[in-house]
Chain A
Amino acid sequence: MSKLHVSTTVNGDSVEFLCDPRETLLDCLRDKLNLTGAKEGCGTGDCGACSVTVDGRLVCSCLMLGVEADGKDIATVEGMAEGEELHPLQKKFIEYAALQCGICTPGVLVAAKALLEKNPNPTEEEARYWLAGNLCRCTGYDKIIRAVMDTAADMREAS
């Protein structure tokens, strides 16, 4: 099967790649662009480890084809920090020990950032439902939810 040419923007950089029409956006990010921050935990859109935003919308990159990324604006965990300055969520996750193994962390961070952009003042219940698509097997979510809620409070105070 011949490959298709895709031009897209990832974390602000213009990128191009050739992909098989069957390859997912996640495959392309990881295998063509070496952006391995997004993880494949399930391949069926159930675990959220591959979360990225496409034109600002939170998606599971394993459920989107690479060819569909053409002309879009993709953001991954690798683009979350501003240079050396970590995003407040990234700092808070380290401070609160909101990760154990860390495999779900990139997806959780991308999803939590999307939440706070949409709703800077979520209730605990809203945060729990928004992150219900991001499976974590290590933490029981307690420290993740606390980190997200407290980051939201800090960011509200700072703005």
Chain B
Amino acid sequence: MALDDQKSVFKFVGTRPDRPDGLDKVTGRAKFGADAYAAGMLHGAILRSPHAHARIVKIDASKAEAHRDVKAVVTRADFSDKVEFKPGLAGEFWNVLENVMAGEKALYDGHAVAAVAATSALAARDALKLIEVEYEVLPHVTDVDKAMAADAPVIREGAADYSVPEGLHPNVVRYHESGHGDVEAGFAEADLVIEDSFTTEATHQGYIEPHACLASLGGDGKGELWCCTQGHWIAQKTCAALLGIETAQLRVTASEIGGGFGGKTTVFIEPVALALSRKANRPVKIVMSRSEVFRATGPTSSASMDIKIGMKKDGTITAAEGIFRLQGGAFPGAPGDMTAMCAFAPYDLSNVRQVGYDVMANRPKQAAYRAPGAPMGAFAVESVLDELCNQLGLDPLDVRLKNAAHDGSKASYGPTYDQIGLVKTLEEAKAHPHYAAPLKPGQGRGISCGFWFNHGGETSVSLALSEDGSAQLMVGTPDIGGSRASMALMAVEVLGIPYENIRVTVADTATLGYNDVSHGSRVTYASGLATIKAAKHAVEKLCERAAAKWGIPVDAVKWEDGCAVPSGPNAGDFDPLPLADITANMGATGGPISGHFEATPEGAGVSFGTHIVDAEVDPETGKTAITRYTVIQDAGKAIHPAYVEGQYQGGAAQGIGWALNEEYIYGEDGRLQNSIFLDYRIPVASDLPMIDTVIVEVPNPGHPFGVRGVGETGIVPPLAAIANAVSNAAGVRMRDLPMSPPRILAALKARDG
């Protein structure tokens, strides 16, 4: 249901003003994670396992502890022993603790086993060499299919939760199954059924800023933490649990954040820095190296998938089935359930069944990466759809339009869709000049749809007015990509004051109520909704003051263009009363005027996109060039369109990397072989074309201005769209990502027999 008061005509929303933090970020003034210093500060460094799987027999830190530059050494014994192990995700604090500092076993190459604090960064690094660790190396497994096989080494007994059926390997820790209809009957109705298998490799979020923090924790249990994070309240809660202190005694301040994409939604070094600080009784700073980021922070899951889809000659999908196995490192959490639920979500299907597995292996604990789980499933499903279209001689956009989910469709994962924009994105794709543009020899075109749920989450916002009529807005979601600008636009849309007259601050954990992480594409939706409601709350008070001044009932006053005005001719004849005239006397007329909003908004509104890609494959080298790229996505309502375009372009670019180059490469010894940017190659400027964008606006009924999150959906279609383009260019179906030059050369060779 649409909100009764949903707004559709805007003065500020939809414009493209300069971002409020722009100056700081182009002058080097903005303070990121590693830019903090404190008096008496020590530097921390972390010793990491060189083994993929090993029992820690003994850690002898006596030589390090004896060194004059070393002020503290910590191991697992220095963290809380009250954190309880539970199966699956029920004991996530234990999982995080086990990840940030190994207990009995090192579970992957790069797993932290001890840490030091010393008087300089060099001294800390040197001191690591003085710590002696005795390991008993154990058999390891890094591949998802091998990790599920009967003979795979068991990573941790008892990690599987209630959802896992009997008879599966203990490394399978969560299981998901959903769908509706009768898939076997559906396949029987089809004119063509294609069944195929696909794999994707683990990729890293690849934020350019390595994790960094500055921590201080005293003997009184009171602490301060500065860190780059997507969510400082989750950092506060998790660190407090892992250190055994009270949550409210730890104040966490989020620095500017140099990218996250899901990878900074948890903690890695923060509890370690706090433990070192508590032991040394001095502030401790830890900054990860790039290699540590790759080896020990969240890559995405790798995946192995089987898809079966039946289609009639006219393009109607009769049934669809998918099995998705996701490897998430040595801990539960791989989003097999998300992959399964998103895979067929763009289509209105009578018969659909999806199964997801969460599988552990000796790799770092997977972390969320932009629409976690969805891109892999879309790659597999949309590849099979493309192949069906090719074999039946059908237009891939027409087939998607024919089967597209629309308002009222029952989603493959259960609920019934409200107002959604998929059909609009497909129609825009069909009308776009890109779709009709001729291709050169050696080029292929691919399209794909993509879906993401979007998320609401706990949200607190506070807005305070100043006597001079300016406003300060405090939000709790770190600004990852220009959200201060969109929050300011939404607030001034309600208040009616100039954009320049508001200052947006990302408040620390001590000055605002709880806020969920900047994830799930939730910031513009949820913090935006809370900002609008907080501004409206302040406006109510402004109207009350005007009513009191005029001596009329408050319901006879309305707010228009930054002024209180009588609501109609019967309310009385008064000149408009500007906001600044009310705030100038607010101390004497009832006190400071602020607006608040605290809630967990539930109407995030799902989002769909359609991508069109042209790729050119060099048959000599196997190298693929992306020659043209168009993103069409539903934003509900674009608050600051330039940053919406930026999200679309960034999602596409990350998808191009995932499709063509990026992968975690493990040796036989279970060690990561490409832990620097030279060997783990993310797209550079010369790899990419301009990325065209089309913003579709089908308002989300769950947001006062119609906003849908836009951050994640943009990475869902690229893997499939590019694979379809490459497959069509090369004349051979590409089933395994990344489509690196050697893989493409091998496929071309196989094609030619």
Contact = CB atoms under 8 A, between A and B. Distances in A.
Interface in B650-708: 650, 652-654, 676-678, 682-688, 690-691
Given A20-B122, A100-B480, A128-B686, A94 B23 contact: yes
A99 B26 contact: yes
A101 B27 contact: no
B686 A76 contact: no
Given A100-B481, A100-B650, A137 B290 contact: no
A138 B28 contact: no
Contact of B28 (A36, A41, A127): A36
Contacts, number: 187
Interface residues of A, number: 61
Interface string A59-101: 0000000000000000011101100001000100111110111
Interface SS, B side = loop
A35 interface: yes
Nearest to A124: B690
Contacts of B654: 137
Contacts of B566: none
A93 B24 CA distance: 12
A22 B21 CA distance: 35
- Residue picked from A39, A78, A101, A139, most chain B C-beta under 10 Å: A101
A105 interface: yes
Nearest to A144: B685
A11 B647 CA distance: 34
Interface in A120-159: 125, 127-129, 131-146
B32 A44 contact: no
A40 B207 CA distance: 12
A133 B646 CA distance: 21
A140 B482 contact: no
A104 interface: yes
- Residue picked from A39, A90, A134, most chain B C-beta under 10 Å: A39
A97 B643 contact: yes
B206 interface: yes
Given A97-B482, A139-B653, A106 B677 contact: no
A102 B18 contact: no
A38 B649 CA distance: 25
A95 B209 CA distance: 23
B185 interface: no
Given A37-B27, A129-B686, A142-B690, A101 B34 contact: no
Given A137-B259, A138-B481, A39 B25 contact: no
A108 to B, nearest CB: 9
Nearest to B655: A140
Given A47-B208, A141-B685, A142-B690, A42 B290 contact: yes
11 contacts: A43-B289, A46-B676, A47-B208, A47-B290, A78-B27, A78-B28, A80-B27, A97-B643, A101-B260, A102-B256, A139-B646
Given A100-B643, A100-B647, 11 more contacts: A22-B122, A42-B290, A78-B27, A86-B23, A93-B26, A95-B18, A104-B208, A132-B686, A136-B208, A140-B652, A143-B642
